[in-house]
Amino acid sequence: MDFQLNEEQKMLKSLVHEVAEKEFRPKVAELEASGEWFHKELIKKLADLGLLGMTLPEEYGGQGRTAFEAILAIEELARVWPGCAFHVLESTLASVRVIEQFGTKEQKRKYLPPVCRGESSISIAMTEPDAGSALTDLSTRAVLDGDHYIVNGNKRFVTGGGPANVYVTYVRLSKEKGARGIGALIIEKGTPGFSFGNQEQFMGLHGMPSCDLIFEDCYVPKENLVVKEGDFRKLMTAFDLERCGNAAMCLGIAQGALEEAMAYSQQRKQWGKDICEFQAIQFMLADMAIKVESSRFLIYRATANASIGLPSPIEANLAKCLANEMVREVTGMAVQIFGGYGYSKQYPIERMFRDSWGWGIAGGSIQMQKITIASQLLNRRFDQRR
């Protein structure tokens, strides 16, 4: 097993690191305060670098890179600000891959190239008011009527909700209960009968909009069916790749917090010497590094093994679960090292701590991930309803 990056990967990581420091870091406070997501200048920079859609095939405007290389880019950007990293995640590892893996040629030609050019973004709509962890309880209904599906229902906590142009929407295509009746439609913003709820005001992850999607007799062309009824497993397998992206966001935030804490501990003085001279600080820095590196190896393994396909479900779940817990612990220790300044909005640690908590809720809570891991280890299905 080779733990070294090749030369091309080193160049990619170095390039994204430099751009993140020079182009994005000076603007983080401004971007987060504005709450703007589809910032044209930021998107153009990412597109010019070839980071948007970098895992998509070249025939659709991508670069045919691996999931692992996308993870390297996401990690470097998230060190500075998750808001810019999320554009890379969404265009390489998230709902766009549902279309790339399972869509028709016509769907790929229509929806993938604009993503690579930075002209469009695709979000995923799964969660509902009564179907979060119990996703197979979703009730958004799509009924085929001639050449169209008529969609009725409500989606909640859709990241990118509002600004995104296209939504891969999980729907119930028949009266079959549970996973058997679930498939997915591609629904475009502006489709009659499709509207948005109010934007959520979250504790962290500012600049990453989220809102309800509301479907009231929304007519969607039948050619927009991307995953048919009964193929729910395909949807969840593709979602395992997005979980790796979620883990990479955690890794980037934690790495950024560690770097800030290391620098601060060598600048801040107490009793006439740098606080890194104190054993308590040394212990925390060492613990932070151990947790970050442990998480990095699980994430790298899952995505490297996936290559240009989809990851092993258990490897993706292990990586996400550890990363979700790790980033909360690491940013918490960084706040402690900074003391009062860590609690102040004038320093980036306060933002990193807030941003760290969302990832262990999104994409499957930590507790649900552990149930899934146990199920995969034992090869048994645990029915939470009984």
pLDDT in tens, the chain (386 residues): 677 899 999 999 999 999 999 999 998 888 887 766 667 788 889 999 999 999 999 999 999 999 999 999 999 999 999 999 999 999 999 889 999 999 999 999 999 999 999 999 999 999 999 888 888 889 999 999 999 999 999 999 999 999 999 999 999 999 888 889 999 999 999 999 999 999 998 999 888 889 999 999 999 999 999 999 988 888 888 788 899 999 999 999 999 999 999 999 999 999 999 999 999 999 999 999 999 999 999 999 999 888 767 788 899 999 999 999 999 999 999 999 999 999 999 999 999 999 999 999 998 899 999 999 999 999 998 877 77
The predicted pLDDT at position 384 comes to 74
Which regions of the chain carry the CATH code 1.10.540.10? 7-116
Residues 233, 23: Cα–Cα separation, whole Å: 40
3-state secondary structure of 141: strand
Q: Is 385 exposed, middle or buried, given 0-12, 13-18 or 19+ CB atoms closer than 10 A?
A: exposed
The predicted pLDDT at position 214 comes to 98
Which regions of the chain carry the CATH code 1.20.140.10? 233-378
Dihedral sign computed on CA atoms, order 242, 244, 246, 248: negative
Tokens read off for 100: 């790339």
Q: Is the pTM of this model over 0.75?
A: yes
CATH superfamily of 7-116: Acyl-CoA dehydrogenase/oxidase, N-terminal domain (1.10.540.10)
3-state secondary structure of 54: coil
Residues 3, 102: Cα–Cα separation, whole Å: 32
The fold for domain 233-378 equals Butyryl-CoA Dehydrogenase, subunit A; domain 3 (1.20.140)
CATH superfamily of 122-229: Butyryl-CoA Dehydrogenase, subunit A, domain 2 (2.40.110.10)
The predicted pLDDT at position 195 comes to 97
Q: Kindly give the pairing relationship between strand 148-159 and strand 194-199.
A: unpaired
* CA-atom Rg of the chain in angstroms: 21
Which regions of the chain carry the CATH code 2.40.110.10? 122-229
